[in-house]
Amino acid sequence: MVERWYRNAVIYSLDVRTFQDSNGDGIGDLQGLVSRMDYLSRLGATALWLGPIHPSPGRDGGYDVTDHYDVDSALGSLGDFAQFMNFADERGLRVMLDLVVNHTSDEHPWFVSARSDPRSPFRDWYVWSEQEPPDRSEGMVFPGVQRERWTYCDQAGAWYHHRFYDFEPDLNIRNREVQDEICKIVAFWERLGVSGFRVDAAPFVIERTAPGVDPRDRDYGFLTELREQVSWQRGDAVFLAEANVPNEEQRLFFGDADGAANRLQMLFAFRLNQALMLALARHDPQPVIAALRKLSSLPRHGQSATFLRNHDEVDLSGLTDDERADVFTAFGPDRRHRLYERGIRRRLAPMLGDERWLRMAYSLQFTMPGTPVLRYGDELGMGEDLSLPEREAIRTPMQWSATPNAGFSTAAPDALIRPVVQAGPFGYERVNATDQGREADSLLLWFERMLHTLRECEEIGTGEHAVVPVGTPCIMVHRAEASSGSIMFVHNLGERPAKVCLRLPADGDELPVEVFGDREYPLRDLTELEVDGYGYRWIRLRRSRG
C-alpha cells in the first residue's frame, strides 16, 4: 500500500439514519450528514464508518439488505452519496462502509427467486437442507431472542440457514458466483471513492455452512482474494473485520505472507475491549495488563481497532463466569440492562456515571495499541433508552441541541425513526452538542483536545507498546516506542489520588514534556509522579529529530 493511513486514524462510527435529518421526514439522511461535516472535522475524526446505507425493510437496523448497489431512498440517492464523498474529500475525511455480505434480507430479489423455484439461478446462492438439520437449534447469534438458525420455508419446501434473524437468510460462500458477486460489490463502492469496509460478521462470511458441519470450516482463501482485488483497484483501501475470535485465530484473518498481513488489515480488539470493561468494573488495571501480554504479535501491516462502546451490546462472552458477573454487577445490575445472555445494552456514560471516570476510560482506550473507534454521541456522553428493544436502546438520534427533537429533525416526535432521549440526566436538554460547544470544560471540547493531541502521538498507532511495572494498586503505566519517539501513559483506575515511583532508563538529554492530562501536574522528574483519582497523564519522553 502506498499509504498506511489506518494506523494513525480516528474512526468515527455513525448511522446515517440517526445522525441528522435534512427534510423533516424523521429519518437521518446523507444531506443531513453533509450539513454536519464541519462538526466531524473539528472534532478530530479522520475516517467515518457509516452503518448500512443500502435499501432495506429496516427490520434489523439496515443490516437486512435488499440491494447492495444502491442507497436507501430514505437516505438519498447515489448522487447524494457522491456529493457527500466530495464534502468528505474536501475535509480530508476518509469513508468506510459496512460490507454486509454474510446474508441478505428475505425480500432481496435473489432470495425471492431462490425460494420460488428449485431451478432458479439463485437457488444455490443460499444454504438449503432438504431434511431437518440436526443442529437446527444450536449456535444462534441472538440467544433468548432467536429460537433457531435453520427455518423451514413452505414455498421452497426446504430449510434455509440464517446465523441471524430468520428474515436474513445466509449467502452460500461455497458458490463461486456468490464470491464473484461480493468482489463486484466491493469494486463498485471503491470506484465511488470509499477507503475501506467494515466486514460485518467476518467469520460467518467465510463459513462453509452445511447441515451438521463444524461451523469453523472457513474459507480463509476468499479473504486473500478479496484483499488482492482491493489492492489492484485502490491501493490504500482497507478491510476492518468484525471477528470476535480467540487471539490464536486472529492471524488466520490477517494472513501472513512474509510477515505482512495479506488478507484483512484490521480486526476489532474484542479481547482487549472485554479486559477494559473488567478493569473498569474492578478498578484494577491487571485485566488490561494481562490482555496486552497475551495479544498475539500482529503481521507487519496488521492493526487492531480499539473501542469501548460500539453499535451493539457490550459483548462479555470472552470473560469467565466470575468476571462477567463482576461487570454485570458494576454496569448492568438491572435485567433490562442485559442482552443475549452475554452483554450490556447501555452507553458508557450512564454505566460509569462519574465524568472523571468516563474521561479516564476513554484516555485509556485511546492510548491502547491500535486505531481508536468512537461511536457517535459518546463524545457528548449520551445515554440510552431502555424502553426500546434489544440493541435499539443505544441507537437513538444524535443530540445536537436543546431544541425540539434534540435538533435532529423537524418532524413530529412520533414520526422519528427512534425517539430521542428526553428524561433524566442524559436527556437532550442537558446533553447536547450546542451547549457543550460553548462550555470550556465540556466533554465535547475535551474530546476535541484529546483527538488533536492524538494526531501528534503517532507512536500509539505505529509503535511497540510495553507495560511499565509499578507497585501502586489501581495504576497502569505503559509506554509506546516508535521511530518518531517515545511516550508514556499513566492512568489511575481508582478514585483516590496516588503516587507512582518509576525507574526508567534515561532517554538522552531531552526533558520529558506533559502533552495531555486531567490537570496540570508538576513535572520535575520521572522518579515520582502524582496522579489524581481517575486521573491520566500522557508524557512525551523523547521525540525523534529525524
**How is 332-376 classified by DSSP, letter by letter?**
--SGGGEETTTEE---HHHHH--HHHHHHHHHHHHTSSSEEEEET
Sign of the Cα torsion 325, 326, 332, 338 reads: negative
> What's the one-letter identity of residue 263?
R
Q: Which of 211-220, 236-245, 515-524, 527-536 has the lowest mean pLDDT?
A: 211-220
Kindly state the cell numbers that stand for 311: 453499535
Give, in order, the Cα–Cα distances in Å from 105 to each of 67, 183, 348. 9, 19, 31
Place of cell 460478521: 201
Q: pLDDT band for position 236 (50/70/90)?
A: confident
Q: Are 325 and 28 in contact (CB under 8 A)?
A: no
The answer to whether residue 170 is catalytic is: no
Share of the chain above pLDDT 70, in %: 97
Q: What is the mean pLDDT of the chain?
A: 93
Interval 491-519 mean pLDDT: 85
Place of cell 484516555: 363
Q: Are 157 and 76 in contact (CB under 8 A)?
A: no
Interval 246-258 mean pLDDT: 82
Pairing of strands 343-344, 338-339: antiparallel
| Calculated CA dihedral for residues 299, 191, 219, 59, nearest 10 degrees | 110
**All structural domains of the chain:** 5-102+175-454 (3.20.20.80), 109-161 (3.90.400.10), 464-543 (2.60.40.1180)
Q: Are 46 and 10 in contact (CB under 8 A)?
A: yes
How much is the pLDDT for 2? 42
Whether pLDDT at 505 is above 70:
no
Catalytic residue of the set 29, 168, 190, 200: 200
Residue-wise pLDDT tens digits, 146-190:
999 999 999 999 999 999 999 999 999 999 999 999 999 999 999
**DSSP three-state, residue 448:** helix
Beta bridge partners of residue 492, listed in sequence order: 475
Q: Which of 23-32, 95-104, 299-308 has the lowest mean pLDDT?
A: 299-308
Residue-wise pLDDT tens digits, 420-478:
999 999 999 999 999 999 999 999 999 999 999 999 999 999 999 999 999 889 999 99
How much is the pLDDT for 1? 41
The answer to whether residue 200 is catalytic is: yes
Catalytic residue of the set 242, 315, 385, 481: 242
Residue-wise pLDDT tens digits, 25-38:
999 999 999 999 99
